[in-house]
C-alpha cells in the first residue's frame, strides 16, 4: 500500500488509530477502569487473531492496552491489517 492509501484507509477506522513506525504499522491505545476489562479485550482480540491467523503485538496492564498491527511477512501494512483494526473497533465496543 502506498502512504496515501494507508492514510485514506486510516480515515475509515474509529478514533485513536494512528500510523506508526515510519507508516508501516497501525497503533492504538485503550484505557480501562481496571485490569479485568483490559484483559477481556485482550482475550477477544486473541481469539479473533487465532481465527484469522493474523497476530498483533499486544501490551497491557492495569487500566491500559496498546495494540500494534502489521503484516509480519512484508514488514508493512496491508489491507488485511486495516480489516483487522476494524474488527478490533467492533470488539472494543462489546467490553
Structural domains counted in the chain = 1
pTM exceeds 0.95 for this model = no
- Residue 88 structural domain: 3-92
What digits encode the pLDDT tens for the residues 69-87?
999 999 999 999 999 999 9
Domain with residue 12: its CATH number is 3.30.1360.20
What digits encode the pLDDT tens for the residues 29-72?
999 999 999 999 999 999 999 999 999 999 999 999 999 999 99
- Could you tell me what percentage of the chain is helix, strand and coil, using 3-state DSSP and rounding each to the nearest 5? 45, 25, 35
Amino acid at each position: 500500500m502506498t502512504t496515501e492509501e494507508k492514510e485514506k484507509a486510516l480515515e475509515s477506522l474509529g478514533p485513536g488509530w494512528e500510523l506508526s513506525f515510519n507508516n508501516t504499522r497501525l497503533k492504538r491505545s485503550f484505557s480501562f477502569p481496571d485490569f479485568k476489562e483490559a484483559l477481556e479485550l485482550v482475550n477477544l482480540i486473541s481469539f479473533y487473531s487465532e481465527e484469522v491467523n493474523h497476530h498483533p503485538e499486544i501490551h497491557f496492564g492495569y487500566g491500559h492496552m496498546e495494540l500494534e498491527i502489521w503484516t509480519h511477512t512484508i514488514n508493512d501494512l496491508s489491507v488485511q491489517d486495516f480489516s483487522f483494526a476494524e474488527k478490533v473497533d467492533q470488539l472494543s465496543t462489546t467490553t
